[in-house]
Structure 1
Amino acid sequence: MLLWVLLSVCCLVAAQQRSSSYSGEYGGGGGKRFSHSGNQLNGPLTAIRIRVNRNYIVGLQARYGTAWSDYKGGSLGDLEEVFLHPGEHIIQVSGKYSVYMRQLVFVTNKGRYFRFGKDYGTSFNAAPLFPNTVLRFFSGSSGSVIDAIGFHWDYSSSGCTHCNK
């Protein structure tokens, strides 16, 4: 009987559909660690602020629902801001890095793309492992620039009933 219960539980766990995945970490090993994992509870990713200078991605901030995350990175460079349309989600991120992040290119499900930084360094391409999943939040490390970045993918929280509005 115990064996049957254990087999049933194992089969149930194996049958559950997976949805979350992680891409990264891209960049160098310096800086202080950060994660926006708690910010995703405010809702889906709705806007991004990127600070760039002539060589690097200097800083990053994201809006989840209507709440902005803490800013990560340095203060020098030009600040650029992008707002996603309702129902629009990031489905791919590519870019370049050397010791620090040099370029980020975001692609959305509505066919828009946003390019920040310089086209120089080692290339990467980040995308979710599972169909119909989107960028949910960022993690990485930063100091005076963004040293490294990772991307966390899952289903959109647009229909989330427990998220803060």
Structure 2
Amino acid sequence: MLTIALLALLCASASASAIQARASSYNGEYGGGGGKRFSHSSYQLEGPITALRVRVNTLFIVGLQVRYGTVWSDYVGGSLGDLEEIFLNPGESVIQVSGKYKLYLRKLVFVTDKGRYLSFGKDTGTSFNAVPLYPNTVLRFISGRAGALINSIGLHWDTYPSSCSSC
């Protein structure tokens, strides 16, 4: 009898974990293999993405910086080109990222759940379109490779943070 109860308990816990909702997914890396690796994984603990800084020149995405909650990430990339800064509205999230690349990133387009298209760079190269694998998930952080330019980008998706005191 004890064996049957133990077996039933084991099956119940296995079933519960099997139906537990998954939320995180990853797209990328889009671009070339040069440059030094970077990741903003620890910044996601500061809150949702609230702003973007993108440096562009006539051909490439030169640099990136993302604000998580009220904290700006480390800047990655080079220093030449024009710096553009866009703030998301409170509660607004990135739900899709598309762009173009060859050996370096050439274009990035961030699409928000409020219908805004935040576009940076030039429309040339191989296209990519990244969306989360699971419903009701948003862009939580980026990773990739960078040197004097942004070589490549990876996009990490998960649920919107349930509590964010610094947002």
TM over 0.5: yes
Identity of aligned residues (%): 65
Q: When the two structures are aligned, how many residues end up with a matched partner?
A: 163
Q: Which amino acid aligns with 1:77?
A: G
Q: Does 1:74 align with 2:78?
A: yes
Matches of 2:41 and 2:128, distance apart in 1: 22
Superposed displacement of residue 10, structure 1: 1.9
What is the one-letter code of the residue matched to 1:75? S
* Counterpart pick for 1:7 among 11, 30, 39: 11
Q: Show CA shifts across 1:32-85 (max 9, x none).
A: 111101000000000000000111100000000000000000111100000000
Question: Cα offset for 1:6?
Answer: 3.5
CA contact (8 A) 1:41 1:164 kept: no
- 2:163 is equivalent to residue 160 of structure 1: yes
| Partner-residue secondary structure (3-state), 1:150 | strand
1:107 is aligned to 2:102 = no
Distance 1:13 1:28 in 2: 38
Once residues 134 and 33 of structure 1 are traced to their aligned partners in structure 2, the CA distance between those partners, rounded to angstroms, is 23
Mapped contact 2:51–2:67 kept (Cα < 8 A)? yes
Superposition deviation, residue 164 in structure 1: 5.4
Q: What letter matches 1:53 in structure 2? A: N
Query: Does the Cα contact within 8 Å between 1:88 and 1:108 map onto a contact in 2?
Result: yes
Q: Does the Cα contact within 8 Å between 2:70 and 2:166 map onto a contact in 1?
A: no
Equivalent of 2:48 in 26, 44, 47: 44
TM-score (norm 2): 0.93
- Secondary structure of the structure 2 residue equivalent to 1:76: coil
The equivalent of 1:117 in structure 2 is 121
TM-score scaled by length of structure 1: 0.94
Which stretches in structure 1 are left out of the alignment for 5+ residues? none
What is the distance in 2 between the residues matched to 1:10 and 1:36?
33
Deviation of 1:122 (Å): 0.3
How big is the shift at 1:13?
Answer: 1.2
For the pair shown, the structure with the greater C-alpha radius of gyration is: 2
Does structure 1 retain, via aligned residues, the 8 Å contact 2:110–2:118? yes
RMSD of Structure 2 on Structure 1 (CA): 1.3
- What is the distance in 2 between the residues matched to 1:21 and 1:73? 25
State how far apart, in whole Å, the 1-side matches of 2:160 and 2:113 are.
Answer: 12
